[in-house]
Structure 1
Amino acid sequence: MTGEPSFFEIGVDDPERGRTFYGTLFGWDLERGPSGRGYAIGTPGLPGGMHGGDKGAASPYLFFRVDDLDAAVAKVLELGGTIEELGDEGEEDPGSAARFGRFKLCRDDQGSGFGLHEPPSRAG
């Protein structure tokens, strides 16, 4: 199935401060992520992540599951949306992609941000 929320991502300037703040506020279990630069967030519901380097008032992203990331990206562009170029999106690190899948940050045709997430293949 596609379109259901699959995870959320919080961008902060300093991941250590973010870990302290959100971990204390919500009682979340935050473990170092595979890149070593952020955290995986364990919640009783939707899984999440936290990354650093976002200055100012960054907004959380909600990622929606898709079966084919490349086809979904093409559809976003066809509909007038845009794709954010970030550099490290889980694809340069094969271990990370195998564990978390592939993802892209997008903007709809009005500029609102969201994410697309293709979970890792269970085959193999």
Structure 2
Amino acid sequence: MPTIVHFDLPADDVERARTFYGELFDWKFEKCPGPMEYYLIETAALDGTGGVGGGMGERGEPGQQIVNYFGVSSLEECLGKIDTPGGKVILPKTAVPHLGYLAVCEDTEGNRFGIWEEDPAAA
């Protein structure tokens, strides 16, 4: 059953947002390699075990909000079902090299969500 495997948190001021969430929730941030200012977020559950991980980078479009990504075994199969119940695909299948594939969709209520298929062979 798909569950949230990652969240993406956009920020107008990444340093300000890192400070806010670091102090508020004690989240840990690690900068991704490369020129893009993007940080992986480490969270913990209330019992101290590892929580759902996320990422933070600069806001890509005005009004962009937090997007939760649901892990699926087949991105293409899931995308094939989006239109049937009234959803729509906003960002089609996109490779994240060496990690997997993602897509961003919108539900019947206008909420955006992502779907993620892990695949180390993604290019």
Question: When the two structures are superposed, what TM-score results if normalisation uses the length of structure 1?
Answer: 0.75
Structure number with higher helix proportion: 1
Runs of 5+ consecutive residues of structure 2 not aligned to the other structure: 45-50
Aligned-pair CA distance for 1:56? 6.1
> After superposition, what is the alpha-carbon deviation per residue over 1:50-90, rounded to whole angstroms, capped at 9, x for unaligned?
1212566643221111111122112112332112239xx86
Partner of 1:74: 80
Root mean square deviation, CA, Å: 2.5
Q: Corresponding residue for 2:65?
A: 59
Aligned partners of 1:90, 1:24: CA distance in 2, in Å? 33
- Mapping of residues 9-88 of structure 1, within 5 Å: 9-35=8-34, 36-44=36-44, 45-54=51-60, 58-85=64-91
Q: Select the structure that is richer in strand.
A: 2
- If the length of structure 2 is used for normalisation, what is the TM-score? 0.76
Distance 2:72 2:82 in 1: 12
User: Which segments of 5 or more consecutive residues in structure 1 lack a partner in the other structure?
Assistant: none
Q: Matched residues, percent identical?
A: 31
- In 2: Cα distance, 1:72 partner to 1:82 partner: 12
